[in-house]
Structure 1
Amino acid sequence: MQEQPTSPEILETVAAYLRDVAMPQLEGHAAFTARVAANAVDLVRREIELREASDCAEKERLVALLGHDGELEKLNADLAAAIREDRMDIEAPKLLSHLWQTSLEKLAIDQPRYASYRAALEETPEW
């Protein structure tokens, strides 16, 4: 049986083609557009690879913070309401830790080469 490449492997190949083959042959706006396309393909690949685990971890933290289960979107809305209505202390260490971790997980998908993100990975904030 022939092994099929995974979706992330296909996307990685497309991005590499755009960067290594297409872009060097292009100039000006076309080169810029190829770079944007390669970055978009990389973002989709990271989304496929990381989103499910990130969402699961975020949901676990929200359930622990709020004390009830639910869909991720609803839990986030409940957290926002609890903060807005002063039912949750904005300086609570567990909340700050959750917000920090959620931000890092989102940056791992959206902007993993962002300098501040890379620096933040080295930090362990004290809440």
Structure 2
Amino acid sequence: MGQPVNGDVQLSLELDEGTPALRAIRAWIADVLVGEDEDLVQDAALVATELVSNAYDHAAGPRTVRLECKPHVRITVEDGSPERMPVMGRSRLGEDRGRGMILVQSIGRSWGVERRAGAKAVWVELACPA
């Protein structure tokens, strides 16, 4: 079991090819954030699930999810498709898809994308309760 987050923590998880293990990612986040506010843990798990799903649906590997705990929680998902940027409210996978980034934007206090050599990183910061 994890320990309550104290100070700066940065952990990452390499993601396999194939079907994303979303349940395992949510459990990993809950373990890292054990002892934190339950709403924060649930928001972090939901945001991570959306970002990871997008990386599998719209980008190539390799894929990594990173969780940083400082004065805030920052979740970053890196993938191997720097040319495929997130698009709000639209999906190439059908008209009943494409709401994930709208959800991420509504939950997070800020989000963004960083292009890197051969990769991109989509991140979101969550406000921690006082």
Higher relative helix content: 1
Highest CA radius of gyration, 1 or 2? Answer: 1
Higher relative strand content: 2
Q: Give the structure-1-normalised TM-score.
A: 0.32
